[in-house]
Structure 1
Amino acid sequence: MKTADSAAGSGSNTFRPSRSRRFKSGLVGWLFIAAAVLMIAAFYFYPMIQALILSFKTGTGMNLKFNGLANYERLFTDTMFLSAVSNTFIYLLFQVPIMIIFALFISVLLNDRKLKFKGFFRTAIFLPCITSLVAYSIVFKYLFAPDGLVNAFLLNIHLIGEPIQWLTHPFWAKVTIIIAITWRWTGYNMIFYLSGLQNIDQSIYEAARIDGASAVRQFFSITVPLLKPIILFTSITSTIGTLQLFDEVMNITRGGPGNATTTISQYIYNLSFEYSSDFGYAATVSYSIVIMIVVLSFIQFKVAGDRNA
């Protein structure tokens, strides 16, 4: 005669799925994601591996041969590459902090419960990042032309005495690019900060106000620390995007005047399609961006105090 415990045990074994059933269930799951995995492997990982192999080759067209680390050694003596790196890091050091600060400040303003038409303002600020790159680049070329609206406005308010050569002066061309990419991507980062702010318990701010903390103190003592993971995320993604900057420079200044605004990505394009095609060295320059992204991301994790870095 079976006891209650043995009966319960036999009952639990009855409803436990067999090994073959668990295998079939897992196989069905893998079949659902198999297409996506194959597509990612074919269009992402395979080209990455091929590009890495290509970076150790030299020659034109199909006449390629291995040349070891010669392409990587060439990077340190290539003045055009060093100039492109310098230009890209100027954009990075100025544009990314300005954009992060603007996005954070705007998100705090738009998170105010008393503000009316919040939906309109959020949409208006986010709209630039979904506009056509070519279209908005053309608009910026007209706005910052010598006889464009920007110079006309500055002349009318007597802030300048003569038109600024925004697109043909090395310094002002960089400023134009920084303004363009800041205008486009500030709203994108603002969305992340808004979502983070809406998840912060309002009782924390109420307690701070009762203790006499000013709005500025609340911002630096509550908002910024609680948004630290999101700030780190947006800083890294913005850094990656700036190191890969291509469209704005190509469409607004085409790397000019001279090579004053050329970025690393545009230099890769030039090596591949504008100059005599050197795909091996172009792949090497591409992987230099990968190395920069890894190093800068690691530094940002360390500065932010992430123990998992």
Structure 2
Amino acid sequence: MKNKAYVPYFFIAPAVILFSVFMLYPILYSFVMSFQTSVGGIMEFNGIENYKRLFSDEIFLKALKNTFILLIIQVPIMIFLALVLANLLNSSILKFKGLFRVTFFLPAVTSLVAYSIIFSIMLMNDGVINQVLMSLGFGAIPWLSDPFWAKASLVLAITWRWCGYNMIIFLAALQNIPDQLYEAADIDGASRFRQFFSITIPQLKPVILFSAVLSTIGTLQLFDEPYTLTEGGPSDETLTIGMYLYQTGFRYFDFGYASTIAYVIVILVAIMTYFQFKIAGDSE
């Protein structure tokens, strides 16, 4: 009997070992590295100098600003569009629901690099979008070379990629809302608009919070789109924290400082998640 008590541990041992070697150890080691700097190719302890360096690093501060601009603009737009689409696709009068659901969800399973390259081709000065605009009598827009439009291009691309993903989450939650609530609202004479804000939104509150947290984490780690679409340009106007982390670690091989940036992202994620829970009024 005593030997049998250890049997479950043999089954979970491979997973625990793999997690420890490829997840736990790198996390702990990178935390140690955040307090080190390379001197002659040898990592030496330098206290909190890397963290102090962040506050005087203009490139990091610019990357932080760019990331928060994208976060503040893109995440609310995406969640709102996902909510609207989910509500429309949940309608009982809509035909071909399966087709529309698959169509809107397809971008979420598209390769990040592939779709970023396609968007970069479409948004070139002589790309498809500018050609359509010029054929309609409008001027060409410098999508990737102007600071404002470069950020707008990232918002457009990210929203296209992830809107359908959040829509599916909201759609699943909508189907769990009791029909009796809407029937009672109809009897009381509530309009569809009133039902949306008085029934749908409150019922979806935990799911909206979940999507907002996931979207916030994803935006703070944003790398693929700015790297492929704009390469952080023009003049670092679309440089994100994730992209600056990559450049610091794998272009300049300053792994100590890169580890510091990584843990700053972790701290930002924790802070943003905390405030989102507080704003949502969730006490758990």
Distance apart, 1:62 and its partner CA: 4.0
Corresponding residue for residue 198 of structure 2? 221
Asked if 2 retains the 8 angstrom alpha-carbon contact of 1:232 and 1:300, the reply is: yes
Structure 1 residues 60 and 132: CA distance shift in structure 2, 3 A: farther
Candidates 211, 226, 231, aligned match of 2:188: 211
Amino acid at match of 1:288: V
Match of 1:285 in 2: 261
Whole-angstrom CA distance in 2 between matches of 1:61 and 1:287: 24
1:71 maps onto 2:50 in alignment: yes
Alignment of 1:104-123 (within 5 A): 104-123=83-102
Instruction: Please identify, of 132-141 and 296-305, the stretch whose mean Cα deviation from structure 2 is larger.
Output: 132-141
**Letter matched to residue 33 of structure 1:** I
* 3-state secondary structure, aligned to 1:112: coil
The gaps in structure 2 that reach 5 residues or longer are none
For 1:224 and 1:92, locate their aligned partners in 2 and report how far apart those are by CA, in whole Å: 21
Question: How many residues in Structure 1 have an aligned counterpart in Structure 2?
Answer: 284
Identity percentage over the alignment?
A: 53
Show the 5 A alignment for 1:119-138.
119-138=98-117
Of 113-122 and 48-57, deviating more is 113-122
| Greater Cα radius of gyration, structure 1 or 2 | 1
> Counterpart in 1 of 2:71?
92
Q: Give the counterpart letter for 2:176 in structure 1.
A: N
CA contact (8 A) 1:60 1:279 kept: no
Do 1:60 and 1:278's aligned partners in 2 also have CA atoms closer than 8 Å? no
Is 182-191 or 266-275 further displaced after alignment? 266-275
Query: Is contact 1:144–1:167 with CA below 8 Å preserved after alignment?
Result: yes
Equivalent of 1:271 in 245, 248, 257: 248
Which 5+ residue runs of structure 1 have no aligned equivalent?
Answer: 1-19
**Residue 164 of structure 1 is aligned with which of 137, 141, 147?**
141
Q: Is the 8 A contact 1:56 1:280 kept in 2?
A: yes
Code of the aligned partner of 2:271: V
Q: How far off its partner does 1:151 sit? A: 1.2
Q: Report the 3-state secondary structure (helix = DSSP H, G, I; strand = E; otherwise coil) of the residue aligned with 2:119.
A: helix
Which secondary structure does the structure 2 equivalent of 1:254 belong to? coil
SS at match of 2:56: coil
> Match for 1:256 among 219, 230, 233?
233
- Equivalent in the alignment of 1:7: none
- Is it true that 1:201 corresponds to 2:178 in the alignment? yes
Matched AA of 1:246: F
**Which moved further from structure 2: 55-64 or 181-190?**
55-64
Deviation readout 1:280-308 (Å, 9 max, x if unpaired): 00100111100000000000011111112
Q: Aligned partner of 1:116: which letter?
A: K
Structure 1 SS opposite 2:279:
helix
Letter in 1 for 2:244: Y
Counterpart check, 1:296 vs 2:272: yes
